Amino acid sequence: MVVGIQALGATNRCYFDHNATTPVSAEVLGAYLSALRSPAGNPSSIHAWGQTARRILDEARARVADLVGCLPEEIVFLSGGTEADNLALSGVVGAHSAERRHVVTSTVEHPGVLKTCAHLETQGVEVTYLPVDGMGLVDPDELRRNIRPHTVLVSIMHANNETGVIQPVEEFARIARQAGVPFHSDGVQAAGKIPVDVTASEFDLYSLSGHKFYAPKGIGALFVRRDLGVQPLLFGGRQERGMRAGTENVAGAVALGEAARWAKVNMAAEAARLETLRDRLEQGILERVQGSFVNGKGARRLPNTTNIRIAGVEGEAVVIALDLKGFAVSTGAACSSGAMQPSHVLTAMGLKRAEGRSAVRISLGRSNTVEQVDALIEAVAASAARLQGLAPSDIDEDDD
């Protein structure tokens, strides 16, 4: 019996899940392929091949540094956002030998930060998780109050992956600096989408990930301020100033460099374009779908992200219904299937369990057009109307 792939009804696929990952752009692919094809050697080698590889790698490093406003030597290439977060937290904490070590972070961080903190807690490190308000923002005064004499790191994300809410990280960095504590920000969702200047803002560490802005998966970077001591996660060679052992992913770094270059040049125009589309999308859905609300509304948000809850509907069902119509969106984080705990981000913002479960994240990117946005509004309106009233009404919505 031969079974073909079932096309179902939808033939046009519109991708609206850019916060999960982005497709590799044409210019990045070109740079990536030429780096893979080049006869470059190992950047650590003495010979001409090695020197070529070193030059390519350092050019890429300069481009990434240019995107975030630091010196090239302050960029550590690694595998992606999760590794960057792990290295920032474990690396700084590990560089301190004091008996009491304390870290301040927030309740809305990405698991790359939260799970690393949970691990550090098992190692005897104290961690304070700062709450957020209804818009998802950390209160700077809360941060000020929670820095202790033995605090070794403050880590608060730049922009939230689920809601796009942008934290006042410049202010947090200032507070941390005044207290003499290094400041890390997870910039995985912000880098390449909104301006950041880690030097002017006096950040000490900043995480970014290539596949969130059109580079391939498997390459990312951590900005580490020049004079900051960080213990490596991996032991081996002296690559990346001793902070990331292992022969460098040269082609990946080149791809990341090209993505950074494109983002830097086109950021203002692309952000304005996406914000217009995002606002049109939000307005269309709010007008067409009964009981729809924007989570994080009122706060500064990434120009490409909206997180909408639709009363009486499971976000999961909306995602499936839209997929069957040819649109890719998500319920929040691109979590593993079935692990449907309500989002910790929305829960931290004070949403009830059922409200949290009714959220859909739509994140735009370079391929999206006004026609696609209008088609998505139609599809969301139709799906929501069909699904509304299907939420398990017999379950108490107010429990925990």
Partner 1 sequence: MTEGLVAVAMSGGVDSSTVAALLASRGVPVIGLTMQLWDQRRMPELTPAKPSGRCCSLTDVHDARAVAQALGIRHYVVNFEERFEHQVVQPFVQEYLEGKTPIPCTFCNIYLKFDLLLELSAGLGADRIATGHYARLSHDADSGRWQLRRGVDTGKDQTYFLFGLTQEQMERTLFPLGEYTKEQVREIARLANVPVAAKSDSQEICFVPGGDHEEFIRAYLKEQGRALPPGGGEIVDSTGKRLGRHNSYYGFTVGQRKGLGVAAPEPLYVIGTNPETRQVIVGTERELFRKEMSVGEVNWLSIPEPDHPVRASVRIRHQHTPAAANVLAVKGERRAQVVFDEPQKAIAPGQAAVFYDGELVLGGGWIE
**Catalytic positions, please?**
335
**HEC assignment per residue over 59-89:** HHHHHHHHHHCCCHHHEEEECCHHHHHHHHH
Q: Which stretch binds partner 1 (CB under 8 A): 210-218, 229-237, 333-341, 367-375?
A: 333-341
| 1 near partner 1, rule: CB under 8 A | yes
Taking the complex as a whole, the smallest distance from the CB of residue 1 to partner 1 amounts, in Å, to 5
250-288 and 370-387 are packed helices; what angle lies between their axes, rounded to 10 degrees?
60
The residue from 200, 265, 268, 340 that contacts partner 1 (CB under 8 A) is 340
Q: Which of residues 369-388 bind partner 1 (CB under 8 A)?
A: 383, 386-387
Taking the complex as a whole, the smallest distance from the CB of residue 396 to partner 1 amounts, in Å, to 9
Give whichever of 4 and 149 is closer to partner 1, judged by the CB atom.
4
Distance between CA atoms of residues 84 and 112, nearest Å: 9
Q: Which of residues 298-317 bind partner 1 (CB under 8 A)?
A: 314, 316-317
Please state, as a whole number, how many other Cβ atoms lie within 10 Å of the Cβ of residue 375: 16
- What tokens appear for 62 in the block? 């300069």
Give whichever of 198 and 310 is closer to partner 1, judged by the CB atom.
310
What is the three-class DSSP state of 363? strand
Q: Which stretch binds partner 1 (CB under 8 A): 114-122, 132-140, 298-306, 392-400?
A: 392-400
Give whichever of 267 and 333 is closer to partner 1, judged by the CB atom.
333
Q: Which of residues 4-63 bind partner 1 (CB under 8 A)?
A: 4-6, 8-9
| 333 near partner 1, rule: CB under 8 A | no
Nearest to 187 by CA among 172, 206, 211: 206
| 3 near partner 1, rule: CB under 8 A | yes
- Please identify which residue in the block is written with the tokens 């999206």: 368
Q: Which stretch binds partner 1 (CB under 8 A): 3-11, 79-87, 150-158, 246-254?
A: 3-11
Taking the complex as a whole, the smallest distance from the CB of residue 331 to partner 1 amounts, in Å, to 10
CB 168 within 8 A of CB 142: no
Give whichever of 85 and 314 is closer to partner 1, judged by the CB atom.
314
- Please identify which residue in the block is written with the tokens 């990312």: 220
Give whichever of 141 and 399 is closer to partner 1, judged by the CB atom.
399
CB 37 within 8 A of CB 250: no
Give whichever of 275 and 323 is closer to partner 1, judged by the CB atom.
323
Sort residue 263 into left (φ over 0), alpha (ψ -120 to 50) or beta: alpha
The residue from 324, 369, 370, 378 that contacts partner 1 (CB under 8 A) is 324
Q: Which stretch binds partner 1 (CB under 8 A): 68-76, 102-110, 167-175, 331-339?
A: 331-339
Q: Which stretch binds partner 1 (CB under 8 A): 42-50, 164-172, 206-214, 321-329?
A: 321-329
Compute CA distances 152 → 54, 100, 141, 219, whole Å: 34, 9, 18, 27
The residue from 58, 142, 202, 323 that contacts partner 1 (CB under 8 A) is 323
Taking the complex as a whole, the smallest distance from the CB of residue 132 to partner 1 amounts, in Å, to 25
CB 306 within 8 A of CB 361: yes
Give whichever of 262 and 327 is closer to partner 1, judged by the CB atom.
327
Nearest to 28 by CA among 201, 214, 296: 214
CB 288 within 8 A of CB 380: yes
Distance between CA atoms of residues 140 and 172, nearest Å: 6
Number of chain positions touching partner 1 (CB under 8 A): 26
Taking the complex as a whole, the smallest distance from the CB of residue 34 to partner 1 amounts, in Å, to 34
DSSP structure class, residue 269 = H
Q: Which stretch binds partner 1 (CB under 8 A): 234-242, 259-267, 337-345, 366-374?
A: 337-345
Give whichever of 349 and 387 is closer to partner 1, judged by the CB atom.
387
Which regions of the chain does DSSP assign to beta strands (E)? 14-15, 75-78, 102-106, 126-130, 151-155, 183-186, 205-209, 220-224, 292-294, 305-310, 327-328, 359-363
In the complex, the residues that contact partner 1 under the rule CB under 8 A are 1, 3-6, 8-9, 314, 316-317, 320-321, 323-325, 337-340, 383, 386-387, 390, 392, 394-395
